[in-house]
A and B are shown apart, each in its own frame.
Chain A
Amino acid sequence: SQKIEQNSEALNIQEGKTATLTCNYTNYSPAYLQWYRQDPGRGPVFLLLIRENEKEKRKERLKVTFDTTLKQSLFHITASQPADSATYLCATTRNRDDKIIFGKGTRLHILP
């Protein structure tokens, strides 16, 4: 069956360092991969989308990579700040009209 996996353990990163989160998928060939941020008790907020023919996408301090050979996406936050602490979800879909599958999310703590 189609699976999308994220590190279930929380990630602790020192303020100012780069945080890197991983999203792996199996039995699946997504055309798009998305990243969301979710704060406790709130709905997820869309951050970035990367297409299968794109290697990298950037937005301010955020960078996403998409490696279809490794079946993996990496999400980087550079110059991390305590305000970046949240749960980050990845999601994939085969095409724009298809159902989106979400990972369980990785909780990120940026330590001051």
Chain B
Amino acid sequence: DGGITQSPKYLFRKEGQNVTLSCEQNLNHDAMYWYRQDPGQGLRLIYYSQIVNDFQKGDIAEGYSVSREKKESFPLTVTSAQKNPTAFYLCASFRGNGYTFGSGTRLTVV
């Protein structure tokens, strides 16, 4: 079945560390997105990519970086510059009527 695979499901980061969250899709969708979700908050857009080798900042891009070297892959790096990285991270792709989301990665700073 086609879908979006995010890994790992849980990730623990030490202070000052960079970590990379994986997002892979086999839906052949051009557009991919990264959202952050905090308790009681809506989804906030971090970065998005409409096409390979191109990406745009979302509303809360500071402290994050992405790459889009392949259509299927859109990894997100949470850098040490992100002061409050503990959150639930969701990757999505879009074509047609609605988003297809992955199952998320829960990142915790220890």
Residue of A nearest to B43 (CB): A102
Q: Bin the interface of chain A by size.
A: 20 to 34
Instruction: Flag whether B2 is at the interface (Cβ < 8 A).
Output: no
Residues 16-50 of B at the A interface (beta carbon under 8 Å): 35, 40-43, 45, 48, 50
What is the bound-complex CA distance between A42 and B90, given in angstroms? 9
What's the minimum C-beta distance from A2 to chain B, rounded to whole angstroms? Answer: 11
Instruction: Flag whether A46 is at the interface (Cβ < 8 A).
Output: yes
SS class, residues of chain B in contact with chain A: strand
What is the bound-complex CA distance between A8 and B4, given in angstroms? 29
Contact (Cβ within 8 A) A49 B103: no
Residues 57-110 of B at the A interface (beta carbon under 8 Å): 58, 88, 90, 92, 94, 97-104, 106
What is the bound-complex CA distance between A89 and B4, given in angstroms? 19
Contact (Cβ within 8 A) B101 A99: no
Question: With contacts A102-B42, A103-B42, A104-B41 known, is A46 near B97, CB below 8 A?
Answer: yes
Contact (Cβ within 8 A) A42 B97: no
Contact of B98 among A42, A49, A103, A104 (CB under 8 A): A49
Question: With contacts A41-B104, A99-B48 known, is A46 near B98, CB below 8 A?
Answer: yes
Residue of A nearest to B88 (CB): A41
Residues on B with beta carbons closer than 8 Å to the beta carbon of A99: 45, 48, 58
Q: Mark A42-54, 1 if CB is under 8 A from B, else 0.
A: 1111110100000
Residues of A within 8 A of B (CB): 4, 8, 34, 36, 41-47, 49, 89, 91, 97, 99-100, 102-105
Residues of B within 8 A of A (CB): 4, 6, 35, 40-43, 45, 48, 50, 58, 88, 90, 92, 94, 97-104, 106
Q: Which 4 A-B pairs have the closest CB atoms?
A: A43-B101, A46-B98, A49-B97, A104-B42
